[in-house]
Amino acid sequence: MRNIVLFGPPGAGKGTQSEKIIEKYGLTHLSTGDLFRKHLGEGTELGNLAKKYMNEGRLVPDEVVIGMVEEKIASTQDTKGFIFDGFPRTTAQAEALDDMLAKHGMKIDGMIALEVPEDVLKARIKERGKTSGRVDDQDDQKIQTRIKVYLDETLPVASYYQNQDKLTNINGVGAIDSIFGQISEVIDSY
Ligand code: AMP
């Protein structure tokens, strides 16, 4: 059993690398962004609640996110572990995750943080916006807000894991397979 947090700013490549990790290690993908987009598409109450935050590039309130993750963990059986993607995004979410996992006899083995400079992030998100259909990928102001929210509210989560000696930083600029090679080495060491 391995439980991993894949961390980084919007556009760092978390989704791309998550797919490769799932394929190699058979982990369960838990992307809160994907879960919210699914709710949005299905027009659920949760989706409608999250919509205004997502469209503005702001964080959905902690209790809403935490409740959704709790449900996903509780309803997942026979897993080799989770890859958390886009969660936790606040220290309160990180604390809640530790509590949730402990209830199920699990823990986070490590956080892998992808480091990418801001100009590269912006270019990648704009490029993705051409095909992703995501409102939050297309507008310069929204992209800027998401990066600011990351720096102000999400970056402290890296310190939370560093304080537990669980943080590994990886350069997220380069060939996808080369970055994945480095990620695999870290995962194999858990
Ligand atoms: P993402 O696909 O991870 O970039 O998430 C898209 C949007 O969903 C974010 O800009 C937030 O509005 C919302 N969201 C996703 N995950 C979280 C989270 N852990 N906490 C708060 N809001 C989130």
pLDDT in tens, 68-79: 999 999 999 899
| pTM of the predicted structure, to 2 decimals | 0.96
Q: Which atom of ligand 1 is nearest to the CA of 86?
A: 3
- Decide whether any atom of ligand 1 lies within 6 Å of the 89 Cβ: yes
For residue 176, tell me if it sits in a domain.
yes
For residue 189, tell me if it sits in a domain.
no
In this structure, the residue with its CA closest to atom 1 of ligand 1 is 33
pLDDT at 67 over 90: yes
For residue 190, tell me if it sits in a domain.
no
pLDDT at 90 over 90: yes
For residue 61, tell me if it sits in a domain.
yes
- Angle between helix axes 176-188 and 14-25 (nearest 10 degrees) is 50
Name the percent of the chain in helix, strand, coil, to the closest 5: 60, 10, 25
Q: What is the residue range of 62's domain?
A: 2-183
Q: Is 70 exposed, middle or buried (0-12, 13-18, 19+ CB in 10 A)?
A: middle
Mean pLDDT of 41-56: 95
Using only C-alpha atoms, the chain has a radius of gyration, in whole angstroms, of 16
Residue with tokens 């791309």: 16
Give the chain's length: 190
- Decide whether any atom of ligand 1 lies within 6 Å of the 36 Cβ: yes
* Contact between residue 49 and residue 64 where contact means Cβ atoms under 8 Å apart: yes
List phi, psi (to 5°) of 107. Answer: -150, 165
Number of domains in the chain: 1
CATH number, position 175? 3.40.50.300
pLDDT at 98 over 90: yes
- At residue 180 the predicted structure's pLDDT band, cuts being 50, 70 and 90, is very high
* Contact between residue 90 and residue 59 where contact means Cβ atoms under 8 Å apart: yes
Residue 66, pLDDT score: 98
Q: Give, in order, the Cα–Cα distances in Å from 39 to each of 33, 44, 49, 73.
A: 10, 5, 10, 17
In this structure, the residue with its CA closest to atom 10 of ligand 1 is 57
- At residue 135 the predicted structure's pLDDT band, cuts being 50, 70 and 90, is confident
Residue 31 forms beta bridges with which residues? Answer: 85
Residue 62, pLDDT score: 98
Percent of the chain with pLDDT over 70: 100
Active site residue ranges? 14, 89, 128, 134, 146
pLDDT at 131 over 90: yes
For residue 188, tell me if it sits in a domain.
no
For residue 170, tell me if it sits in a domain.
yes
- To which H or E segment does residue 86 belong? none
Q: Give, in order, the Cα–Cα distances in Å from 136 to each of 1, 23, 174.
A: 34, 28, 24
